[in-house]
Amino acid sequence: MSEELLNSTSFIHPNLKKLSDSSIKLLHSCPRRFQLYRLFGGMGYTEDGENENLLFGSAVGAGTQELFISNDVDKAIVAAAIAWEGSLDDSLGARSKKTIWHAIEATQKFYEFRHQVLSDYEVLLVDGKPAAELGYMIDFGDGFVHRGFLDLLLVSKRTGDLLVYEGKTTKFSNLHDAVYKNSGQGLGYDIVVEAIAKKLNITRQYDNYDVLYSVYKSGSGEWQEFRF
């Protein structure tokens, strides 16, 4: 077999060519685990607390997104409950304060936080729909793609500037901004923001744009923002 064939990317399984921010982090932390997840569905293996983290994060994310869209706390609580795919009376996550009831509490607290920190922003409309969980795919050719979702894409009511919003949850109370500032996730949105700006005929140049990480600390029950 020729060296050219051996070096061909056609020998890479298609599942390994489909990347996202989370899968890239997994690849960098443990290439073998990345391979197992992509080829064999993880073989049933999950880290301690992984399920409760996913449940809690999804519920809080759905609740906060609804608050941005409707500004209605009751609708946001319903959205959080619907997004919770576990049992509502499940005690999973009680020690880390990541039950459905803690998710509802986080959603309620976000209402005040949102009006304090982001009162000038509203959700951008793309194709007549709120830019929440806005899906995208970047095609790099030869089967390699990067897929993801923007939690929210906001627009300033005063200046028209776009702002990428990322909602996060954590059990840690003391956070360093490097955890988010050094993430490739925010930087990777550059292509997406530029494409949307062109699609909507927004004339501003977006070689510079802000990303806001809004982080709920479940241990202390507080929201904290990091803007870059």
Which of 70-84, 90-104, 163-177 is predicted least confidently?
A: 90-104
Nearest CA among 123, 127, 145, 144 for reference residue 136: 145
Helix (H, G, I), strand (E, B) or coil at 144: strand
Dihedral through CA 153, CA 155, CA 156, CA 161, nearest 10? 100
Sign of CA dihedral 91, 92, 96, 101: negative
Residues in the chain: 228
State the pLDDT at residue 116.
92
Higher pLDDT, 4 or 14: 14
Tell how strand 121-123 and strand 132-141 pair up: unpaired
Tell how strand 125-126 and strand 121-123 pair up: unpaired
Higher pLDDT, 86 or 225: 225
Residues 203 and 206: their CA atoms lie apart, in Å, by: 9
Structural tokens at position 195: 């494409």
Residues 49 and 24: their CA atoms lie apart, in Å, by: 20
State mean pLDDT over 159-174.
Answer: 90
Residues 126 and 124: their CA atoms lie apart, in Å, by: 6
Asked whether residue 107 carries a pLDDT value surpassing 70, the answer given is yes
State the pLDDT at residue 212.
94
Model confidence at 166, pLDDT cuts 50, 70, 90, reads very high
